Structure 1
Amino acid sequence: MDFELKTLRLAQAARAKADALVFLVTQDTAKAKADDALSALAARAIKTGDFSAEAGKLLPCYAAEGIQAPRVLLAGAGDGSAQAVRRAVAAAIALIKSGPACQAVLCFAQTPSPAALRAAVLAAADAAYAYTETKPKAKPVALTGVRLALPAAASAALKTAFAQATATASGIRLAREWGNRPANHATPRQLAAAAQAIAKEKGSHIDCEVLGPKEVAKLGMGAFAAVARGSHEELRFIVLRYQGAAKSQPPVALVGKGITFDSGGISIKPAAGMDEMKFDMCGAASVLGAFEALRQLQPAINVVGLIPACENLPGGGATKPGDVVTSLSGQTIEVLNTDAEGRLVLCDALAYAARFKPRAIIDIATLTGACVIALGHVRSGLYATDAALAQALQQAGEAALDPCWPMPLDDEYAEGLKSNFADVANVAGRPAGSVTAAKFLQRFVPEGTPWAHLDIAGSAWKSGKAKGATGRPVGLLVQYLLAQAA
């Protein structure tokens, strides 16, 4: 999807050539004097009761008098807030994306806030996305370009918001694309190649290193290696480094869970719904998406991305319940349940992050079904050892309309992780399962380093008719990194 920011007063927008024109009608627009064709059309529709400015309401019109575009869509944008604009644009683009319109104008009657403009871009990109990688006969989305028309010249703040939104949209699209690919089209090696492709882009300021089984074994990542034992697909440990600030500046480390397929291992999952376990690498995909946005925006910050990627399958060499493995940190782990594998690959990656002396570590993982029970599919779970980091991430999530919610990390939750045969067990009981998983990870965070864990099991993908990756929490991560750079 291509985006362009234009200055067009309503009278000019009515004369603009486009396949379709979406007019965002806010409550203020509805009350204003109708002295142009678009406002007059909206006023008539409201007066007759066929339309209202309520967020998400739509009224398609064809060959409207005084308007050049053959297709006009009135879209209610409520109070003009970012949330309302997102609902309006999402509904409008979903209606027109399948054609025949190829180019659309998205028209604001009043100058939007930077947050509302950002929401419009992200909503349009999200609504227009369609997965086609393994669907060669699928009809492509007809809509390929959107011009966002403002009634006055864009301020510096609006131009910045637009640039950030388009880059974030690219990152989200990349994350969705890799999250949606079947496991045989998104192996650890292919995920590593995707990371290398980002780094190879001209002027990316990104370096990429990929470690294989021998290097991982030499490092002593016994927990990570244990998860991969049952699969014929080789593991990969992906290290991305974005250098946007002076080398003396400590980086932010992003750690993404990259289980490209999770059968549960010997503790195998039920067959129903197991196909969705291709989404178990959405944490890794979100790190790739964040780096794609960094590549485009070039903010003054240093960022490290760490992705432990492998499959979790049963096999003759697979780790068994009761096995004890030694992690990179030197701590031994009793593997009581091989389906609690995400924490095993992450714990070694968290310990590895220490070598970069990061200012903060944020891991992102589809870690627990318990988090879905706690928070549903609206907010990601947020665990943090540092109040300032937690606040910054929560603020970034609210600003990006990609929200998270703080969860507890009381020491008492770790009691269930005690083991008679190792330093720690990889699971506790069912109560507070997402919390005990976070407490397990906390043991492996470099001492004194602010750390946050985002459990995205409920937000990374959708099931049912809308089955597919969401690209979350790329928006949150990019917003956080940009705020830190500022």
Structure 2
Amino acid sequence: MEFSINLTSPEKAQADCLVLPIAGKKLPTALAKLDEAGQGWISALLASGELAEKSGSTLATHLPIGNKPQKIVLVQVDKDVNAAASRKLADTIAKVLVGGKSISAAVWLGGIRGVDAGALTHAITQSIVAESYRFTAFKSEPDPAPLLAQIAYIVAKKSDVDTAEAGLARGLAVGHGVNFARELGNLPGNACTPTYLADEAVKLARHYGIKADVLEAADMEKLGMGSLLSVAKGSVQPPKLITLEYRGGAKSAKPIALVGKGITFDSGGISLKPGEGMDEMKYDMGGAAAVLGTFRALAELGLPINVVGVIPTCENMPAGNASKPGDVVKSMSGQTIEILNTDAEGRLILCDALTYTAKFEPEVVIDLATLTGACIIALGHVASGLYANNDALADELLAAADESGDKAWRMPLWDDYQEQLKSNFADVANIGGRPAGSVTAACFLARFTKDYTWAHLDIAGTAWKSGAAKGATGRPVPLLVEYLAQRAAKKAKK
């Protein structure tokens, strides 16, 4: 799919389909020549009320121009569009174009006020790339690919060209990162194993010139990662600890670390999950997929920032040698953990990964994990749960969530909840009971992150969808790319 920025006027656009955002019933002055060429059809349609006044309404028709009818799609927009509204508009345009039969399309940006050309091209491009995604890896007769092959954005001012180009680049990178994460997430557990995930990380690193390293079980044993290995031992699939190092910033600059939970299939272990819906536990590596998707996006953009990725990955399976409720294991940090529930395994692999991450001397550490069903009870499938031991970091992540539309909501991380994790037989229990389950899971991780600035994103409710729309979402790649872009911009100003 090819994208371009055209400095021209709507009547001169060369495309199978023209997308024309319009506020209200009044014909914009910039469309007067196009309306004249189309024998006044646009103004007549607007006056007749054929295009509903509700924002997001669409009307597809054809203009009688010359000997060839010109397809147009009118899209109703508010007089002034904010960032949230522009993303909804982008989704509307993407659905119309990707679901249509046009090979080429031109989107006129002049009818949208309130956000700049860069924000518009970013939002629309990201939506089109995401809407075009199809999972075809295991289908003998794949769903038809979209016909749409060329998209041009029409801008009226020369000063908008550079801004639009930058937005286009960002939209492409985020869209590609999201789709990469979705593809990994949608793969079944028999295909996307820890070894496969490590191979994909190494391939990504080679393609973009990123440093990659993969630790095997023996390496983790030497490092004392007894907590991570306790989860992996019930599976025939060997565990991996993947690290990626993207160095786009100054050599002396400390990196941002992203730590992603990579349980490629979670049966619950001895604390076996119910059979219904267990197939969706292939998505329990959503955090790992999002880290890899984010690395692809930041490498495409060439962001001037240093970022480290750490991905602990394994399966959680029941077996004669699997961990049992009541077992006690020793983490890399030296803290001992009583495993009261083997289905609370994500925190067991993350705690060792978080301890290991300290070796990179990170400025900030952000872990992301499909960690708890309790977070879904708290926030549903709209927002990811955000926990942080630093208010400034929490504010930055929330700002990035607002800007990207990849919603997050801050949750408490008070020491009061640590009481629920007390154990009579070890330093800490791996669960704290049903009350505040997402909070106590974050509090467990907080015990291993005291030496650095840290945030945790519980993405259990946002990493995938169930039902008819079942599939990975690629979240929180948009949030993380926005956060990293904002950090890079701040550093550039210093």
Q: With structure 1 as the length reference, what TM-score do the two structures score? A: 0.94
1:467 to 470, 484, 487: 470
1:48 to 1:99, Cα distance in 2 relative to 1, 3 A: closer
> Which piece of structure 1 moves more, 80-89 or 240-249?
80-89
Answer whether contact 1:37 1:65 (CA < 8 A) is retained: no
What SS does structure 2 have at the residue aligned with 1:316? coil
Task: Give the superposition deviation at 1:386.
Answer: 0.6
1:229 to 1:67, Cα distance in 2 relative to 1, 3 A: farther
Q: Distance in 1 between matches of 2:391 and 2:99?
A: 45
Task: Give the superposition deviation at 1:126.
Answer: 1.8
> Which piece of structure 1 moves more, 432-441 or 136-145?
136-145
Task: Give the superposition deviation at 1:365.
Answer: 0.7
Which residue number corresponds to residue 9 of structure 1?
9
Task: Give the superposition deviation at 1:31.
Answer: 5.8
Task: Give the superposition deviation at 1:248.
Answer: 1.5
1:309 to 1:431, Cα distance in 2 relative to 1, 3 A: same
Which residue number corresponds to residue 492 of structure 2?
none
Q: Distance in 1 between matches of 2:51 and 2:203?
A: 47
1:163 to 169, 177, 200: 169
Q: Aligned-residue CA RMSD in angstroms?
A: 2.0
> Which piece of structure 1 moves more, 216-225 or 97-106?
97-106
Q: Distance in 1 between matches of 2:89 and 2:331?
A: 49
Percent identity over paired residues: 47
**1:330 and 2:334 aligned:** yes
Which residue number corresponds to residue 76 of structure 2?
76
Answer whether contact 1:445 1:451 (CA < 8 A) is retained: yes
Which residue number corresponds to residue 190 of structure 1?
196
1:435 to 1:27, Cα distance in 2 relative to 1, 3 A: farther
1:253 partner letter:
A
> Which piece of structure 1 moves more, 188-197 or 82-91?
82-91
Structure 1: segments with no counterpart, 5+ residues: none
> Which piece of structure 1 moves more, 63-72 or 98-107?
63-72
The C-alpha deviation readout for 1:273-293, integer Å capped at 9, x for no partner, is 111111111111110011001
Which residue number corresponds to residue 277 of structure 2?
273
Answer whether contact 1:186 1:260 (CA < 8 A) is retained: yes
Which residue number corresponds to residue 255 of structure 2?
251
> Which piece of structure 1 moves more, 132-141 or 108-117?
108-117
Task: Give the superposition deviation at 1:357.
Answer: 0.7
Which residue number corresponds to residue 106 of structure 1?
107
2:406 partner letter:
D
What SS does structure 2 have at the residue aligned with 1:184? coil
> Which piece of structure 1 moves more, 161-170 or 282-291?
161-170
Task: Give the superposition deviation at 1:317.
Answer: 1.6
What SS does structure 2 have at the residue aligned with 1:36? helix
* Counterpart mapping for 1:258-407 below 5 A: 258-407=262-411
Q: Distance in 1 between matches of 2:314 and 2:289?
A: 13
Q: Distance in 1 between matches of 2:25 and 2:156?
A: 14
1:277 to 1:170, Cα distance in 2 relative to 1, 3 A: same
Q: Distance in 2 between matches of 1:94 and 1:313?
A: 40
Q: Distance in 2 between matches of 1:96 and 1:205?
A: 35
The C-alpha deviation readout for 1:190-243, integer Å capped at 9, x for no partner, is 111111111111xx3410001111111111111111111111111111000001
1:21 to 1:341, Cα distance in 2 relative to 1, 3 A: same
**1:118 and 2:119 aligned:** no
Q: Distance in 1 between matches of 2:427 and 2:69?
A: 68
Which residue number corresponds to residue 25 of structure 1?
22
Answer whether contact 1:90 1:126 (CA < 8 A) is retained: no
**1:142 and 2:147 aligned:** yes
Q: Distance in 1 between matches of 2:26 and 2:148?
A: 26
Q: With structure 2 as the length reference, what TM-score do the two structures score? A: 0.92
Answer whether contact 2:325 2:342 (CA < 8 A) is retained: yes
Q: Distance in 1 between matches of 2:431 and 2:26?
A: 55
**1:172 and 2:178 aligned:** yes
Query: How many residues are matched?
Result: 480
Task: Give the superposition deviation at 1:460.
Answer: 1.0
1:210 to 210, 214, 218: 214
Task: Give the superposition deviation at 1:352.
Answer: 0.5
Answer whether contact 1:25 1:53 (CA < 8 A) is retained: no
Answer whether contact 1:19 1:104 (CA < 8 A) is retained: yes
* Counterpart mapping for 1:406-417 below 5 A: 406-417=410-421
Answer whether contact 1:19 1:69 (CA < 8 A) is retained: no
